[in-house]
Amino acid sequence: MSVSSIATPAPTVTDSEEVRRTSSRPPASRRRRPRRRVVQPLVALALVVALLGVPFWMVVVTAGKDQAEAFSPNLALPTDWQLFENIATVFGDGRMVPAFFGSLLVMVPSVLGVLLVGSMASWVLARRSSRAMAIVYALAISGIVLPPAVVTIVLLLRQIGLAGTALGMIGVYMGMYLSTVVFFVTGFVRTIPVELEEAARVDGAGPVRVFVRIILPLLGPTLATATILICLYVWNDVFYALFVIGGRLDTLPLNLYQVASSGLYLQNWHLIFAYIIVMSLPLLVTFMVMQRKIISGITSGAVK
C-alpha cells in the first residue's frame, strides 16, 4: 500500500471558527430590532399627530376662512386669512367679554376652594391611620367613580335658594372635584417625612402653621397638576352650567351654546371656531404657568 493511497482526513473546523462563522450571520431577530426601534416611534408620532394635530389644524384654518369657504370644514388653507377679523366679530357680536368674566367668577373660587379644602382634608387623612379614617377616605374618593345626580343637585339647590346663582355653581364644582384632589394629594402627603412636622411642633408651631409653612409648599407640583385638570373641566363645562345656572349667568361655553342655537352663528363655522380659539387661550396660559411650577417643583425636590 502506497502512501498516496492512504486517504487524508478532511480538515476539521475548530469551535472558535464555528462560533465566528455563526456570529457573522446575524439572526433574524437581530436584524428586526433596529427596524422596530425606528418604526415604533414613528407610529407613536403619527398617532399623536392624527389625534391632536389634525383637529387643531382644522380649527385654526377654519377660523381663518370666510363664511363661504368655511361652510364645509376641511383641512385646506384659506385663500385669504381672516382670522383676526373673525375674532373681532366674535368679540363684538357674541357678548364674549361678559361671558369671560362670568367664567372667571365661577372657575377661580371653585379651583381655589377645592384645592384648599382638599389639601387640608388629605393631610388629615394621610396622618391618621385608623379604620374609621380608612372608611372616610373611601367615601371621600368615591366621587371619582360615582356619577353625580343632576336632578337631585338641582332640587337641592332650589330648596336652599342657590339654584341659578354663581355660589350654587361653585358649590357644585367643589363637590364634584373634591374627590380628585383628595385622591391626588393624600398619596403624596404620605411620602412627606413626619419628622418635618414634629420638628415644627417642637418649635411651637400649631396645626395651621405646620400646614401652611411645611406641607403646603411641598404640595406645589401635585396641586399644579390638579389645577390644570380642574380648570380644564370647569372652563369647558356647559352641561352643569346649563342645568344649575339655567342661563342666568353667562359663561363662555354656555354663551357659545346660546349664540349658536339662537341662529347668530348658524352655518357660520368660521365664527364658531374663532370663538373656540379665543376661549382656549386662558387655558393655554394656565397650562404653561402650571407646567413650569410642576417642573420647578420636581427639580427642586430632586436637588434636595
Assign 304 a pLDDT band (cuts: 50, 70, 90): very low
The CB-side HSE value for 134 (13 A sphere, CA atoms) comes to: 3
Residue 302: predicted pLDDT: 36
For residues 156 and 16, what is the distance between their CA atoms, to the nearest angstrom? 84
Return mean pLDDT, the chain.
80
Look up residue 228 and give its three cell numbers. 390644570
pLDDT higher than threshold 50 for residue 301? no
Residues 6+ apart with CB under 8 A from 116: none
pLDDT higher than threshold 90 for residue 114? yes
Assign 181 a pLDDT band (cuts: 50, 70, 90): very high
Assign 28 a pLDDT band (cuts: 50, 70, 90): low
Assign 118 a pLDDT band (cuts: 50, 70, 90): very high
Residue 89: predicted pLDDT: 85
Residue 224: predicted pLDDT: 87
pLDDT higher than threshold 50 for residue 198? yes
Structural domains in the chain, CATH included, are 29-84 (no CATH), 94-266 (1.10.3720.10)
Residue 112: predicted pLDDT: 94
Asked if residues 63 and 80 have their Cβ atoms less than 8 Å apart, the reply is: no
Residue 119: predicted pLDDT: 93
pTM greater than the 0.85 cutoff: no
